[in-house]
Amino acid sequence: MLLTCVRMEHKKLRHSHLWLVFLVIPLIPTIMGTGNYLQNLGLLKSEWYSLWTQCSLFYSNFFYGPLIGLYCAYIWRVEHLNHNWNQLMTMPVPVWEVFLGKLCLALECTVFLQLWVWVLFYAAGKIAGLHGMPPFEILIWLLRGSIGGMGIAALQLLLAMIIRSFAVPIALALLGSIIGFLLSNGGYGLFWPYSLMLMGMNANKDTDMVGDLMGFGISTAVFLLLFAAAGIWYLNKKDITAS
């Protein structure tokens, strides 16, 4: 039944142009990061790793979280605009499957974004004159960042469900990412969901920020389960109060 919910959510987005946004927007931090790298070749000597520090600085702090927020806000847009909460809640599926169906779509978004950023990063490196392939380790960092982004996806889905405004949850994602940058640099990243994707990607670093993989995994799982549970609880409550 969960797969049915996922397929239904895919159908809702089939005729949207959201995919174009996710193809174009990551170009901005890639261009900004590559420009920074080329302007500081005298200081940045580690080639692919140095390019990564510059591209990930802009992408992780200002784009990744808000893009997830945008996707989650769009997932709930049909329900908010058409006022079809009753129709949604009277579907012959459990409430938790309705929420998890949307969450699965949001999680797909996090992985898609990271793989696309990898392609853009490779292209940027070639344009910048770097030789060979990027270190495989950086791809691992990107995919690990998508794991860290799971908690963000669950939180943004919860916010987008509660807040009818399309822009407010996206703005909150940007604010959360900036706070996440500060906390991760201060050693408190495991206690803030937006810090986890920064740490997973080693944003603006050429060495591993995670250190304790178990702690990283536990923190990600806690945030994911916490916000997913809150979302399912809210949907149950919404079902009771809907008229």
User: pLDDT digit string (tens) for 176-200?
Assistant: 999 999 998 888 989 999 999 999 9
Q: What was the pLDDT predicted at 241?
A: 47
How does residue 122 score in pLDDT terms, banded at 50, 70 and 90?
A: very high
Q: Distance (Å, rounded) from C-alpha 28 to C-alpha 75?
A: 24
Euclidean distance between the first and the last CA atom of the chain, given in angstroms as a whole number: 26
Domain assignments of the chain as residue spans, ordered by start: 2-241
User: pLDDT digit string (tens) for 18-40?
Assistant: 888 889 999 999 999 999 999 99
User: pLDDT digit string (tens) for 61-106?
Assistant: 899 999 999 999 988 887 767 656 666 666 667 777 888 888 898 8
Q: What was the pLDDT predicted at 192?
A: 95
DSSP code of residue 209: S
User: Token pair for residue 15?
Assistant: 């005729």
For residue 242, pLDDT beyond 50 = no
- Region of 47 (left: φ > 0; alpha: ψ -120 to 50; beta: rest) is left
How does residue 243 score in pLDDT terms, banded at 50, 70 and 90?
A: very low
The secondary structure of 83-148 as a DSSP string is T-HHHHHTSSS-HHHHHHHHHHHHHHHHHHHHHHHHHHHHHHHHHTT--SPPPHHHHHHHHHHHHH
Query: Are 125 and 44 contacting, i.e. CB atoms less than 8 angstroms apart?
Result: no
DSSP code of residue 242: -
Q: What was the pLDDT predicted at 240?
A: 47
Q: Distance (Å, rounded) from C-alpha 90 to C-alpha 104?
A: 21
Q: Distance (Å, rounded) from C-alpha 34 to C-alpha 54?
A: 7
Residue holding tokens 């949604």?
88
**φ, ψ dihedrals at 84, nearest 5°:** -105, 40
Query: Are 197 and 172 contacting, i.e. CB atoms less than 8 angstroms apart?
Result: no
What angle separates helix 64-82 from helix 167-185, to the nearest 10 degrees?
A: 150
Q: Distance (Å, rounded) from C-alpha 238 to C-alpha 154?
A: 18
